[in-house]
Amino acid sequence: MTCFAQTHQPRTFLLVHGAWSGGWDYAQVETILRAKGDKVYRPTLTGLGERVHLANPTINLTTFISDIVNVIKFEDLHNVILVGHSFGGMVISGVAEQLPDRISKLIYLDAMVPNDGESAQMVCGDLWNSLMASHVKDGFMEYPFGPVRSIPPMDVAQSLKTFTEPLSLRNPLVKTIPTTFIVMTKNGQSQAANDQMGLVKARQRHWQIASLEGGHYAMREQPEQLVKKLEEVLK
């Protein structure tokens, strides 16, 4: 692991993982950022990761948003750099709606970008019916993108209601938060599904757009490069 010297005032990062995942996904990113002197929080959303024992089909998007809102409130965090990966874009959108004054920067990492009244299912569009719907079972959605590890840490089934509950986004103060969308690319090109779920809206909203070559799970596959990209967009 590369070591970094502290060259700035400590920053506060709150890293929100995507669907089926957990705070474990950001462990290496946390190590790198803390070595630079930053404060890092990587909570796990209810029913996922090490909190899988709490899983039940009543968990919804509001639950996830409350998970992160309460971290900010109970840790008394201010000037938060709030990062959301993939489905985590739904969560950070809801958090910003409630606590815009606590957030200094929003970063959507290859993430969903909802409009007012949209659910994750709606943001997914055609991908929902073509791939994801067939993985719904007993009020949960199982990981739909191939095999997962058989031992922790691993992706686990997630309550269906977290995908189907719509999000109300009407706080005008959210538009005053500097926001960046980081799009993952392959051979310099973004994926059509990711464009639909986030990139197109980010461009329409005139957000800062940055690209990082690699797969969707940058925090797992190339944490050091992801941290370097975060540094770039925070300058």
SS3 label, residue 155: coil
pLDDT digits 0-9 by tens, 74-121 = 999 999 999 999 999 999 999 999 999 999 999 999 999 999 999 999
DSSP 63-124: HHHHHHHHHHHHTT--SEEEEEETTHHHHHHHHHHH-GGGEEEEEEES---PPTTB-HHHHH
HEC readout, 5-41? CCCCCCCEEEEECCCCCCHHHHHHHHHHHHHCCCEEE
Residues in a beta bridge with 85: 109
Which element (helix H / strand E) includes 203?
helix 200-204
* pTM to 2 decimal places: 0.95
Domains belonging to the chain, first-starting first, are 12-194+209-222 (3.40.50.1820)
Summarize pLDDT for 167-214 with one digit per residue, the tens. 999 999 999 999 999 999 999 999 878 788 999 999 999 999 999 999
**pLDDT beyond 80 at 7:** no
Place of tokens 């709490």: 54
Whole-number pLDDT of residue 195? 83
CA R_g for the chain: 17
Q: Mean pLDDT, to the nearest integer, of 16-25?
A: 98
Which pLDDT score, from 0 to 100, does residue 193 have?
80
Q: Is the peptide bond before 114 cis (omega within 30 degrees of 0)?
A: no
Structural contact between residues 213 and 226, judged by C-beta atoms closer than 8 angstroms: no
